[in-house]
């Protein structure tokens, strides 16, 4: 069925990411979705913006770039839906400062970071119903064991 099942006034945004810890690379496609955030102890937050348009049956000739960025052990990745970013956005519609503030308060990432961001969202909603979905995903790059060795440090 694919996109033919959608009416012309419907669309999809999406992110597809392939993390290769052995090569320490991230290849991604961002089709009209909020930026992906990549950060670590040795890198400032890097906002990986959209690489092409949203997906729609009206845009049949669309293409998307699939850039590759390097990652280091300890780097973190954060994906989120626009329901999250629009709720915590400032008066200019930007949410980057709120996300970096959350990272400063929960620098180890993981579930604590997600809880911190959701607490910010709930604070902003102040009891009002949420207008959109709230979806968050995070990952961290761990050391990749050398083939043929069993220990987490490669020994």
| DSSP, res 134 | -
Partners of residue 15 on adjacent β-strands: 30
Q: Is residue 49 pLDDT above 60, yes or no?
A: yes
pLDDT of residue 58: 74
Question: In angstroms, rounded to a whole number, what is the distance separating the alpha carbons of residues 6 and 8?
Answer: 6
23 CB-side CA count, 13 A: 9
- Backbone phi, then psi, for 14, in 5-degree steps? -160, 160
pLDDT surpasses 60 at 27: yes
Say if CB 136 and CB 16 are below 8 A apart.
no
Does pLDDT of 153 surpass 90?
no
Spatial neighbors of 109 by CB under 8 A, at least 6 apart, are: 76, 78, 103, 138, 140
Architecture in CATH of 11-140: 4-Layer Sandwich (3.60)
For 96, the token pair is 């980057």
Q: Give residue-wise pLDDT tens across range 51-78.
A: 888 777 777 778 889 999 999 999 999 9
pLDDT at 92: 92
Q: Around 153, how many Cα atoms within 13 Å sit in the side-chain half-sphere?
A: 1
Q: How confident is the model at residue 1 (pLDDT cuts 50, 70, 90)?
A: very low
What does the pLDDT look like over 84-137, one tens digit per residue? 999 999 999 899 999 999 999 998 899 999 999 999 999 999 999 988 889 999
């Amino acid at each position: 069925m694919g996109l033919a099942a959608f009416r012309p006034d419907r669309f999809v945004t999406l992110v597809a990411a392939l993390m290769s810890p052995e090569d320490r690379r991230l290849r991604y496609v961002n089709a009209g979705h909020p930026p992906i955030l990549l950060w670590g102890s040795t890198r400032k937050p890097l906002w990986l913006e959209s690489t092409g348009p949203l997906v729609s049956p009206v845009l049949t000739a669309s293409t998307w770039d699939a850039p590759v960025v390097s990652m280091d052990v300890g780097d973190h990745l954060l994906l989120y839906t626009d329901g999250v970013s629009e709720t915590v956005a400032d008066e200019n519609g930007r949410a980057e400062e709120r996300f970096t503030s959350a990272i400063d308060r929960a620098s180890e990432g993981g579930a604590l970071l997600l809880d911190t961001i959701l607490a910010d969202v709930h604070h902003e909603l102040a009891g009002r119903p949420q207008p959109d979905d709230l979806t968050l995903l995070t990952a961290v790059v761990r050391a990749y064991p050398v083939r043929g060795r069993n220990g987490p440090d490669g020994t």
